[in-house]
Amino acid sequence: MKNFKANKQDLLTIDHKKKKTIVINQIIMLKGDINYTHFYLQNGKQRISARTLKHYETLLNNKGFIRVHRGFIVNQNCIIEHNLLTSQLILTDGYEADISRRRKNNFLKGGEA
């Protein structure tokens, strides 16, 4: 598994009107919910954005994040365990993300999913 380091000053804007930003290093996982994205952060907080996962996938592509499912993007540095039987990732703070069948082989090879 690759270990990526984002700069501490790398910020991701989630609300342009209110100018809300998140430090990229603090993101554990992004979860899609129709046209919304839920951010799960290392401090235990959650944020929500009115943008799709696809929007954030392009922004986080070279920052150590990988799309493992239609509904999940995970920070590769926060993966603790991969359960082969259930095709799930165990992440920091006990979060779980499913791996789709289509993206499983690429994930196991260590490439982009």
Residue 4 has pLDDT above 70, yes or no: no
Tell me: pLDDT of 66 over 50: yes
Position 6 scores a pLDDT of 57
Residue 108 confidence (pLDDT): 80
DSSP string, 28-67: EEEEEETTEEEEEETTS-EEEESS-HHHHHHHHTTTTEEE
- What lies within 8 Å, CB to CB, of 103 at 6+ separation is 67, 68, 69, 113
- pLDDT, one tens digit per residue, over 16-56 is 788 899 999 999 999 999 999 999 999 999 999 999 999 99
d(CA 55, CA 70) in angstroms, rounded, equals 13
Q: CA-CA distance, 69 to 32, in Å (whole number)?
A: 10
Predicted local distance difference test score (pLDDT) of residue 107: 82
pLDDT at res. 113: 46
- Domains of the chain and CATH, by start: 11-109 (2.40.50.1020)
pTM assigned to the model: 0.85
Residue 19 β-bridge partners: none
Q: Which pLDDT belongs to residue 105?
A: 82
